[in-house]
Chains A and B, each alone.
Chain A
Amino acid sequence: MKQRSHLWLAISLAVFFSLLVVGAALAQDGSPRTPTDDEVNAIAKQLYCPVCENIPLDVCGTQACEQWRGLIREKLAAGWSEARIKQYFVDQFGDRVLATPPARGLNWLVYIIPPVAILAGVFVIYRAFMAWKQPADELDSEQESASREDDDYINRLEEELRSRQP
């Protein structure tokens, strides 16, 4: 009895995994069809014109860009996935076609420096604050309450202005 259930388990697992593999393979390269403009633009949006600076490929109006969009259409029709098409563009035209630098080598600095700088700023402000801060009780004696202070300020302002009127 036990061997039977083991056998069923083995078969179902085998079927399951083979389905996964097939599914994964199918997901990689879809079946060929004519891509719509929107599908082309969705990928072109993420790429930048290799020649004209800082213009996304879906907006660029030059003939060269037209050809590159045609290339995307061609590759989509052939069933290439988005990632594969982008990689193809990088291989052909270099890293600058991507909207952000690929995270390798020196490019890590792009992503690391801003958070580090901001944290450094937080640290500096914290140090400054600690140095500036006086113990709370020292201040209570000379304190007015928070809400009163605003009204007080307006008060004094009004008095001053009133006194200047003839």
Chain B
Amino acid sequence: MIANFGYGTLVITFVTALYGIGAAVYGVRKKAQEWIDSARLAMLLTWPLLTVTALSLIYLLVTGHYELEFVSSVTSNSMPAYLKVTSLWGGQAGSLVFWSWLMSAFASAVTLRKWSRDREFLPWVIVVALITLAFFLMLVIVYENPFSRLWQLNGGRVVSAMYQPAGSQLYRPPDGQGLNPLLRHPGMVIHPPMLYLGFVSFVIPFAFAIAALVTGRTDDRWIRLTRRWTLVAWLFLSLGLILGGRWAYDVLGWGGYWGWDPVEIAAFMPWLTGTAFLHSVMIQEKRGMLKHWNMVLIILTYALVIFGTFLTRSGVLSSVHAFAQSGIGPWFFAFIGLTFITSMSLLMRRWNELKSEAHMTSLLSREALFLLNNLLFIGILVVCFWGVIFPLISELVTNQKVTVGPPFYERATAPLFAGLLLLMGIAPLAAWRHSTMKTLGRAVWKPLVFSLLVLAAVFATGIRSWGALLGFWLAAFVTSVTLYEFWRGALARRRRSGESLPLALWRLAGRNRRRYGGYVIHIGVVLMAIGVIGIEVFQTETQGTIAEGETLSLGNYAVKYESLATFDVADGRNVARAVVSVFKNGKYVGELHPRRDYFYESQQPMTIPGVRSTWEDDFYVLLVDWQPITSQGATFKIYHNPLVNWLWLGGFVFIFGTMIAAWPDRESELAVEKARRTKYAAAKA
């Protein structure tokens, strides 16, 4: 009954969305405000309706209604309740419902704001949001219906359908198949929702961009309206990516955090263009330039989101991440085609109106460096995109399957990332418009000297890898430049207001959140870079089979196999838990418990490492289950990952910085606006 109810709300939402599209378009054509208001209401209705749908589905998941095909595919009796809730996004059908629910939430939120100054945008934003929503709902209703039930036909065959086929009986399995063991981890609880939040929230800036193109209001207004949305969307996307890396590191047992898997890259690509946009939009605001480019970036970001979703869900690419294949592929393709072609047509129609207001002056000005920043981000995007698409092209043209793996991406993007790090150090010191080698040199020499001292210190510790040396130097350089910027700003403020230095710093950042939040983000990136250099350049590993009492060594570390316990756990798995003692330089430093969990239902094993984490390194011990695990001999794989925890610390700082930058502050925004206008007036005078 609940299933029918949930399905009903799904269909009603779909119809409401279609109505909203029609009403909005009609209202614009006939210049009839009441139709547009009606469309707005339709938009607002979708969210409560979809909440009901989602809640019904969650109820059915938690109460184990295995007669629903989706429920029996992702839950089982032995799963704890919270995991049953999260299994909503553990399968294609449920995750599409979840996606739709998030989209209606965001679209409704944006519809609720005051539209007095931007009336022309509203109908088109509604149209774009509802078309996307309607598309995903159509996929759910027609192809991936989570409320579809299992029926047993006369011949004994079991089929899945929403309504009872003739001569069949409802089939209710006693237990479900359960969620893939790899997904039963706290990281899995948060990582997909964060990613989906990031993906979905990019619809809003896209909708505004399209609205601007359609209505011809191609001035800065659309960017101003969506700046915070874009930053928030970017925040969620960044968080989703970082959490994915952390989850992979904790659970997947290959001692790494990023595998350059096509689906990882599919989520990374919109992040790249999003970051490029966040930088180049500053050029548009300060100097009125790059209007075309910013439009292109926003459209490209959303296009990459949809493209990534298509890749993951259509079966075109095979990947560890990919969902099972279904009939949604061709429809997704049609949607992509429609989105890309429409966006490009609109953009070209309005191309001439996106005129640039100002001119570039110096190659070392901040505008020029931001342009370079964009070039590097797009360069990385090109590498990623090409690496993902090429296997497809190769298979089509030569019938040869090839793998484009980490060595390609790492070698191609390393210089580009290094370039970006360098820019992070130089650009804050470059002035808008006019900057020469002399002025830049004057600004940069102090941080440069400091960073060279740090480089010498690093070199003195014996590190000879030139990649690591370059990386550490860049890290020191960027940190010193960024801290120097904080210092200079706080000093300037103190001179003016007589406040104490800490208070000056606080007020400075508070008044200028975007800039100083951005600087904090840069520091976060630097910390992450330190972690990456540590693990990529200096990671060591070893593997060996040892009996109880024996030791396995790696560098300064040694691992002694103490004991093994094998037991069954209530939620349907068999656990083999080893106890190992860790010695560093001969001294005992602690005990670790690497585990091998074997899930009976899905017949899948999972290895959970025992990790000793310090700021200096991670000592990571895996119980490898390729051979039988006994006290006579168990195989252990040990990784030594220096500096890796700086990666996660950097992640925190990164997110913290983004929150600073995104924190709403009406006062300073108006002041910025007025200051900018006054500056323009002064400049033009």
- A residues with a Cβ closer than 8 A to B are 36-38, 41, 48, 52-56, 59, 61, 66, 69, 94-101, 105-107, 109-110, 113-114, 117-118, 121-122, 125, 128-129, 132-134, 136, 139, 142-143, 145-147, 149-151, 153-158, 160-161, 164
Give 17 A-B contacts (CB < 8 Å), ordered by A residue: A54-B319, A99-B405, A101-B390, A101-B402, A109-B393, A118-B382, A129-B360, A134-B359, A143-B433, A146-B434, A146-B435, A147-B443, A149-B432, A154-B512, A156-B679, A157-B511, A157-B668
User: Complex Cα distance A101/B29, Å?
Assistant: 54
B278 within 8 Å of A (CB atoms): no
B378: chain A residues within 8 A (beta carbon): 121
- Shortest Cβ distance from A129 into chain B, in angstroms? 6
User: Complex Cα distance A30/B405, Å?
Assistant: 30
- Shortest Cβ distance from A65 into chain B, in angstroms? 8
Q: Which listed residue (A48, A110, A118, A150) contacts B431, Cβ 8 A? A: A150
**B675 and A99 contact, CB distance less than 8 A:** no
Given A59-B253, A145-B439, 8 other A-B residues pairs in contact with their CB atoms under 8 A: A96-B403, A98-B403, A107-B394, A113-B382, A129-B360, A147-B442, A157-B511, A157-B668
User: Complex Cα distance A69/B356, Å?
Assistant: 60
A143: chain B residues within 8 A (beta carbon): 433-434
B193 within 8 Å of A (CB atoms): no
Report the nearest B residue to A116, measured CB to CB.
B382
B668: chain A residues within 8 A (beta carbon): 157, 161
B115: chain A residues within 8 A (beta carbon): none
**B262 and A54 contact, CB distance less than 8 A:** yes
B671 within 8 Å of A (CB atoms): yes
Report the nearest A residue to B436, measured CB to CB.
A146
User: Complex Cα distance A125/B421, Å?
Assistant: 20
User: Complex Cα distance A101/B672, Å?
Assistant: 52
- Shortest Cβ distance from A51 into chain B, in angstroms? 10
User: Complex Cα distance A109/B382, Å?
Assistant: 13
User: Complex Cα distance A109/B403, Å?
Assistant: 14
**A101 and B493 contact, CB distance less than 8 A:** no
B591 within 8 Å of A (CB atoms): no
- Shortest Cβ distance from B297 into chain A, in angstroms? 14
- Shortest Cβ distance from B362 into chain A, in angstroms? 8
Q: Which listed residue (A36, A53, A99, A158) contacts B406, Cβ 8 A? A: A99
5 nearest A-B pairs in the assembled complex, by CB-CB distance = A146-B431, A132-B360, A99-B405, A37-B543, A101-B402
**A101 and B497 contact, CB distance less than 8 A:** no
**B626 and A61 contact, CB distance less than 8 A:** yes
B320 within 8 Å of A (CB atoms): yes
**B360 and A158 contact, CB distance less than 8 A:** no
User: Complex Cα distance A87/B408, Å?
Assistant: 19
B254: chain A residues within 8 A (beta carbon): 56, 59
A37: chain B residues within 8 A (beta carbon): 542-545, 635, 637
The 8 A CB mask of B508-519 against A (1 = contact, 0 = none) is 100110000000
Q: Which listed residue (A69, A95, A145, A160) contacts B671, Cβ 8 A? A: A160
Contact A38-B398, Cβ < 8 Å, known A113-B386, A125-B372, A147-B442:
no
**A54 and B261 contact, CB distance less than 8 A:** yes
The 8 A CB mask of B357-377 against A (1 = contact, 0 = none) is 001111100001001100100
A48: chain B residues within 8 A (beta carbon): 403, 405
**B359 and A133 contact, CB distance less than 8 A:** yes
The 8 A CB mask of B40-73 against A (1 = contact, 0 = none) is 0000000000000000000000000000000000
Secondary structure dominating the interface of A: helix
**B360 and A157 contact, CB distance less than 8 A:** no
Contact A139-B253, Cβ < 8 Å, known A160-B674, A161-B667:
no
B38 within 8 Å of A (CB atoms): no
B400 within 8 Å of A (CB atoms): yes
The 8 A CB mask of B404-437 against A (1 = contact, 0 = none) is 1111100010001000000000000011111110
**A121 and B431 contact, CB distance less than 8 A:** no
B33 within 8 Å of A (CB atoms): no
User: Complex Cα distance A145/B542, Å?
Assistant: 58
A105: chain B residues within 8 A (beta carbon): 398
User: Complex Cα distance A99/B375, Å?
Assistant: 27
User: Complex Cα distance A114/B397, Å?
Assistant: 20
Report the nearest B residue to A119, measured CB to CB.
B379
B512: chain A residues within 8 A (beta carbon): 154, 157
B434: chain A residues within 8 A (beta carbon): 139, 143, 145-146
- Shortest Cβ distance from A156 into chain B, in angstroms? 5
B446 within 8 Å of A (CB atoms): no
Report the nearest B residue to A105, measured CB to CB.
B398
Report the nearest B residue to A118, measured CB to CB.
B379
Report the nearest B residue to A150, measured CB to CB.
B431
Report the nearest B residue to A46, measured CB to CB.
B407
- Shortest Cβ distance from A55 into chain B, in angstroms? 7
- Shortest Cβ distance from A145 into chain B, in angstroms? 7
A38: chain B residues within 8 A (beta carbon): 541-544
User: Complex Cα distance A122/B378, Å?
Assistant: 11
**B361 and A139 contact, CB distance less than 8 A:** yes
- Shortest Cβ distance from B54 into chain A, in angstroms? 31
Report the nearest A residue to B371, measured CB to CB.
A125
- Shortest Cβ distance from B358 into chain A, in angstroms? 9
User: Complex Cα distance A96/B371, Å?
Assistant: 37
**B403 and A100 contact, CB distance less than 8 A:** yes
B649 within 8 Å of A (CB atoms): no
B401 within 8 Å of A (CB atoms): yes
- Shortest Cβ distance from A104 into chain B, in angstroms? 10
